[in-house]
């Protein structure tokens, strides 16, 4: 193993080469599109995007905001064969901060949030529309450090109450909002790619879910692969209005297993996978994963930003990870979002460049330049890569934050 360290524009860059390849042992989890934690992540990101687009269109800049502490508190539901109904709403706790005005012009923050919440659930879980209870805790309090003196207010005191967009410090220099880190690696192992794709297939819009309206979206897969065979614990809910009796529920489970076998043969041929489906079912007692909406959020479960899939869409404890909740953060300068996405993409480019495993860690220092991380760690399995090309890829990634912001705001990049 070789190690090269250098400093480029105030960033300490360490590149390790000849690192051991990851073993073929895989342990992973993926939460589907209707899982409460995924719902919280994706809704927080929708709120950030809606606010960003409004302020960008109205004032020419993305004003300060963060919705990354959003939580969903499950409601109550009554489920019967062939029917179901909500008996208590799902609380949508919109926690965060946002500028409510700029230069004396009000911003309809509450209306933007309400519209985004309704549109999101209309698309994702339409049965919940009309059974949502938004709880607003959106302040415009400044961050710590705005010391009160006899002088006029500090710049920091105006972060969430700008007199104009000129009060936004990032209009002049992009600075990191926090001391945090982003982590990325590439490539995904074939079983990791398969698990990601299968959960999307069963929880999103696909030929299978269009043909089987009983298939709910709160899908979850826990998988293990030892290099020869794989095992998966899979949860797939069914929607009660389309399931007339216990026999139909059990027949639908067989359809899911058959679809998993077909999907495996198509996407991971030659690999034996054993599926354990809806392991908590007790059919003789009618204790089944039968839901009204297709998600456990209807009945007491909770969803919180940052508890679900990482930016690459998986939870992989045998791979490098961090605990940042990227969704809902400001797309202009929040390192918990930008560094994780940039590190993941940089690792993929380094894998493409070297043909071998690549791992990237970007570490910020709060208040310092966003494009000059405190530490950049690159770990490569390649024995003798061209260091200059590696450094060039790092420089390209660090110079790309404005484009990354535009992509997040306008093109709807899905995080997790």
The predicted structure's pLDDT at residue 74: 92
pLDDT at residue 412, as a whole number: 74
Rounded (5°) CA angle 353-358-360? 115
d(CA 322, CA 309): 11
pLDDT score of 8: 80
What pTM, to 2 d.p., does this model score?
0.96
Q: What is the pLDDT of residue 142?
A: 79
Query: Per-residue DSSP letters for 390-406?
Result: HHHHHHHHHT-HHHHHH
pLDDT of 150 reads 63
Average pLDDT by consecutive 10-residue portion of the chain (416 residues)? 88 94 96 98 98 97 96 96 97 97 95 97 97 95 72 71 89 92 97 98 98 98 96 98 98 98 96 96 97 96 97 97 95 97 98 97 96 98 94 95 95 81
**Residue 154 confidence (pLDDT):** 65
DSSP states along 126-150: GGGTT-EEEEEEEE-PPPTT----S
């Amino acid at each position: 193993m070789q190690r090269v360290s250098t400093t480029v524009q105030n960033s300490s860059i360490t590149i390790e080469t000849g690192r051991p390849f990851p073993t073929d042992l895989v342990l992973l989890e993926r939460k589907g599109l209707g899982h409460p934690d995924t719902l919280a992540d994706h809704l927080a990101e929708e709120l950030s995007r809606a606010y960003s687009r409004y302020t960008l269109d109205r004032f020419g800049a993305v004003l300060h905001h963060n919705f990354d502490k959003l939580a969903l508190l499950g409601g109550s539901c009554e489920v019967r064969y062939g029917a179901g109904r909500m008996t208590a709403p799902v609380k949508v706790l919109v926690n965060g901060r946002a500028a409510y005005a700029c230069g004396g012009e009000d911003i309809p923050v509450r209306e933007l949030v309400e519209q985004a919440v309704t549109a999101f659930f209309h698309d994702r879980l339409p049965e919940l529309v009309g059974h949502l209870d938004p709880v607003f805790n959106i302040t415009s309090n400044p961050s710590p450090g705005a010391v009160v003196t006899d002088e006029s207010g500090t710049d920091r005191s105006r972060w969430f109450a700008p007199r104009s967009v000129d009060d936004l410090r990032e209009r002049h220099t992009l600075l990191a909002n926090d001391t945090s880190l982003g982590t990325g690696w590439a490539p995904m192992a074939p079983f990791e790619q398969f698990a990601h794709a299968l959960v999307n297939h069963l929880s999103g819009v696909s030929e299978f879910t269009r043909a089987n309206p009983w298939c709910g979206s709160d899908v979850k897969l826990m998988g293990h692969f030892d290099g020869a065979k794989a095992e998966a614990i899979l949860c797939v809910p069914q929607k009660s209005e389309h399931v007339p009796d216990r026999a139909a529920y059990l027949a639908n489970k067989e359809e899911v297993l058959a679809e998993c076998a077909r999907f495996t043969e198509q996407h991971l041929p030659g690999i034996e996978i054993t599926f354990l489906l809806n392991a908590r079912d007790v059919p003789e007692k009618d204790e089944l994963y039968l839901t009204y909406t297709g998600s456990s959020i209807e009945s007491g479960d909770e969803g919180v930003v940052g508890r679900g899939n990482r930016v690459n869409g998986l939870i992989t404890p045998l791979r490098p990870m961090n605990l940042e909740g990227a969704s809902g953060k400001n797309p202009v300068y929040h390192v918990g979002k930008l560094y994780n996405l940039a590190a993941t993409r940089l690792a993929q480019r380094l894998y493409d460049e070297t043909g071998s495993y690549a791992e990237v860690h970007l570490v910020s220092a709060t208040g310092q330049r966003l494009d000059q991380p405190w530490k950049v760690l690159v770990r490569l399995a390649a024995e003798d890569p061209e260091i200059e090309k590696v450094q060039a890829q790092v420089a390209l990634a660090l110079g790309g934050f404005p484009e990354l912001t535009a992509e997040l705001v306008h093109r709807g990049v899905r995080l997790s």
